[in-house]
Amino acid sequence: MTAQIPERPERTGTRMRGTGWRGAGRSSIPAAALAALLAAALVPGPATAEAVTVSHGYSNFGALKYPADFTHLDYVNPEAPKGGEIAIWAQGSFDSFNQYARDGVPAALNTIGSEAILTGTADDPYGAYCFLCTTLEYPDDLSFVTFNLRDDVTFSDGAPMTAEDVEFSFNLFLEQGITEYRRIVEGFIDRVAVEGPHRITFHFTETAPLRDRVGFAGGTPVFSKAWFERTGVRLDKSTQQPFMSTGAYVLDSFKFNSRVVYKRNPDYWGKDLAFNRGRNNFDSIRVEYFADSDAAFEGFKAGDYSFRTETSAQDWAAGYDFEAIRRGWVVREEIPDGNVGTRLAWVFNLDRPVWQDRRVRDAIGLMFNFAWSNQTLFYGLYDRPASFWSNTDLAASGSPDAGEQALLRPLVDEGLLDPAILTDEAVRPADNDGATNRPSRSAIRAAGALLDEAGWTTGNDGVRRNAAGETLRLTIIQFNPQYDRVINPFIENLNLIGVQGKLERIDTAQYVERRRSGDFDLANQGFDMGFEPSIGLEQWFASKTADDSSRNLMRLRDPAIDRLIGHVIAAQTLEDLKTSVRALDRALRALGFDIPLWYNPETWVAYYDFYRHPENLPPLQVGELDFWWYDAEAAAALKAAGALK
């Protein structure tokens, strides 16, 4: 997990799972494995004063899955036909095509045309491969990495890509990127040397983390230097068009707050690459905007769009009984998700003094009844995430082993962690009875005792106040009405312990701004970790990013966490990585800065029955926009039957 160039979350009705690093488009380094860019299946380089290895890719842990001469990815249909349209949905509105700026609300899929020097796959979580390059070169000490760029890459306007474009793009993010990114990566690079039209070398400082070096250099999206200079566009300002890049798709048309359409570039330079066989199959990708998920679901039923990733358990369990289903026009699939389970949670704003007291946070958390919510609202379809690395062997479990204790004990000895962390089992969310929404008597008593101990006592009116007479209030911000049926019962439970809760529903732009500025008590956050976490953890949890981060939304500043992140970054073997991540996971959970809600171990999709996919989907990606394809005969039959508008 190399430091990730921050973007706004895309609120689309399709979910790109795991692979498809946001900065580099769909044929890119997995977000879960962006740090995994150093290699094992290597070709010896020429003998020099310093031995240099030349390879087609790199992995920190083990051999690359694909050799240099592979013909296509294992999980695609290399003979998939080209053509047709796939249409998905997004919620809210948009007024920009710049995913990297603070201002404006970006259009869905606005980075779909971006590519980077290196790419990942949906079945090799630790590997990265040359994409815009033919080979990469590096010495044993990783003091530099050289990329030998392809000489046939062109931007969407037909202009050739050169090493100068790579240098320009890299520097652009260092100079105009969001603060949280620049704060982490500043000082990683000693210098960048353009050594020819298609050769560029990144020289690293001694302090640059080893496992992140090649990913940091090779994972940045490559944009057209000439286009930026001609248009005067800035990375930190909203734009009315996507940045010019090298990808397979370009903007076709759009109507603000209503629709955006991307089309496949018929002159795409990489259409014959082995990496692209069986991919980029749709002529166009259309995104329809809806005010809320209910309206979007009705639009799907009516045929306004054709592919839906379902995020509502209620709709999945009880809503798919409409004409298109009954007539066999719409297909439903439940696809296992092999990624790290996303920890969807409410996070506390730790910059507000009231939430700095762990006892108060714990009391609030006891009032969320997951068991009842899951049974009553979600039809028992969700799991509750105990770990930040659910569904993997990176998750802490039981009491710490000797390796974890070796990392945790010094922090305990310095008074930075509670001694109980050395012996207790890893913290799990408190259980509740699912028979009713009302928490158990023991949970209510425990919450009341915690608040009393913290100085929030109940008056004659049943409301909690502190010694200064201030009432204990909590505001949850939300833009999605789907959450109302979860938040309102939670607020009812808060009233049982004298806490005055309030749901404040706001529009998308306000929601983005208030999360950024810290104007909330509780807000949603999805903790989306990777299989090889590293420097990117600082964007999620480090003190240095707490003042301005789209990931460290809770404003966490904890010296023990900072130190444990350092151990993860420094890990050089897979076993050391697992040990250090488990120790970090254990410490994060012990802090209680969030209320874990749920995660779905599957991806639910519904689509009109003219899309096809390979029989065996890869573990890390559904790939509906990537390697699915359009069945023209089936589409014609459904259209003739009146299935679509």
- pLDDT 10s digits, 172-190: 999 998 887 887 888 899 9
Q: CB 484: neighbour CB atoms within 10 A? A: 12
Whether 493 shows a pLDDT value over 80: the answer reads: yes
405 burial via Cβ count (<10 Å: 0-12, 13-18, 19+): middle
Q: How far apart are CA 501 and CA 445, in angstroms?
A: 19
Whether 21 shows a pLDDT value over 60: the answer reads: no
What band does 38 get if pLDDT is binned at 50, 70 and 90? very low
SS3 for 282-329 is: CCEEEEEEECCHHHHHHHHHCCCCCEEEECCHHHHHHHCCCHHHHCCC
Supply the DSSP symbol for 274.
Answer: G
Lowest mean pLDDT among 99-103, 367-371, 399-403: 99-103
389, 585 Cβ separation under 8 angstroms: yes
312 burial via Cβ count (<10 Å: 0-12, 13-18, 19+): middle
Mean pLDDT, the chain, rounded, equals 91
* CATH of region 343-598, choose from 3.40.50.300, 3.40.1190.20, 3.10.105.10, 3.40.50.620: 3.10.105.10
What band does 549 get if pLDDT is binned at 50, 70 and 90? confident
Whether 18 shows a pLDDT value over 50: the answer reads: no
Enter the tokens of residue 445: 């008593």
Which of 496-513 are b and which e, b meaning 16 or more Cβ less than 10 Å from the residue's Cβ?
ebbbebebeeeebbebbe
* pTM for the structure as a whole: 0.87
Residue spans per domain, the chain: 22-84+111-231, 249-339+601-640, 343-598
Q: What angle do CA 137, 580, 65 make, to 5 degrees?
A: 40
Enter the tokens of residue 342: 């996303």
Whether 8 shows a pLDDT value over 60: the answer reads: no
Query: What mean pLDDT is predicted for residues 98-108?
Result: 91
Lowest mean pLDDT among 14-28, 55-69, 199-213, 309-323: 14-28
* Cα–Cα distances in angstroms (integers) from residue 68 to residues 41, 54, 81, 217, 369, in the given order: 10, 12, 25, 21, 52
313, 382 Cβ separation under 8 angstroms: yes
Residue of 40 and 551 predicted with greater confidence:
551
SS3 for 341-401 is: ECEEEEEECCCCHHHHCHHHHHHHHCCCCHHHHHHHHCCCCCECCCCCCECCCCCCCCCCC
345, 595 Cβ separation under 8 angstroms: yes
DSSP H or E run through 574: helix 574-591
Q: Which residue has the tokens 């530099």?
A: 144
Whether 606 shows a pLDDT value over 60: the answer reads: yes
Confidence at residue 330, expressed as pLDDT on a 0 to 100 scale:
98
Q: How far apart are CA 389 and CA 273, in angstroms?
A: 34
Confidence at residue 2, expressed as pLDDT on a 0 to 100 scale:
61
421, 400 Cβ separation under 8 angstroms: yes
What band does 9 get if pLDDT is binned at 50, 70 and 90? very low
Query: What mean pLDDT is predicted for residues 585-607?
Result: 96
Across-strand partners of 263?
Answer: 250, 284
Q: How far apart are CA 439 and CA 433, in angstroms?
A: 7
Query: What mean pLDDT is predicted for residues 326-336?
Result: 97
Share of the chain above pLDDT 90, in %: 85
Q: Which residue has the tokens 């009302």?
A: 438
Q: Which CATH superfamily is domain 22-84+111-231 in?
A: Periplasmic binding protein-like II (3.40.190.10)
Whether 26 shows a pLDDT value over 70: the answer reads: no
Q: How far apart are CA 53 and CA 253, in angstroms?
A: 45
5, 551 Cβ separation under 8 angstroms: no
Query: What mean pLDDT is predicted for residues 481-496?
Result: 95
Q: Which CATH superfamily is domain 249-339+601-640 in?
A: Periplasmic binding protein-like II (3.40.190.10)
Query: What mean pLDDT is predicted for residues 397-407?
Result: 97
What band does 3 get if pLDDT is binned at 50, 70 and 90? low
Confidence at residue 644, expressed as pLDDT on a 0 to 100 scale:
80
Could you give the residue ranges of the DSSP H alpha helices within 98-188?
163-176, 179-185
Confidence at residue 638, expressed as pLDDT on a 0 to 100 scale:
95
Confidence at residue 4, expressed as pLDDT on a 0 to 100 scale:
55
Q: What angle do CA 610, 615, 616 make, to 5 degrees?
A: 135
Share of the chain above pLDDT 70, in %: 92
Confidence at residue 16, expressed as pLDDT on a 0 to 100 scale:
34
Q: Is 273 helix (H, G, I), strand (E, B) or coil?
A: coil
599, 564 Cβ separation under 8 angstroms: no
> Are 22-84+111-231 and 249-339+601-640 the same fold in CATH?
yes
108, 287 Cβ separation under 8 angstroms: yes
Beta strand extents in 577-620 (DSSP E only): 594-598, 602-608, 611-612
Confidence at residue 1, expressed as pLDDT on a 0 to 100 scale:
58
Walk across the sheet containing 144-149 and list its strands: 43-44, 52-55, 133-139, 144-149, 199-204, 189-196
Whether 39 shows a pLDDT value over 70: the answer reads: no
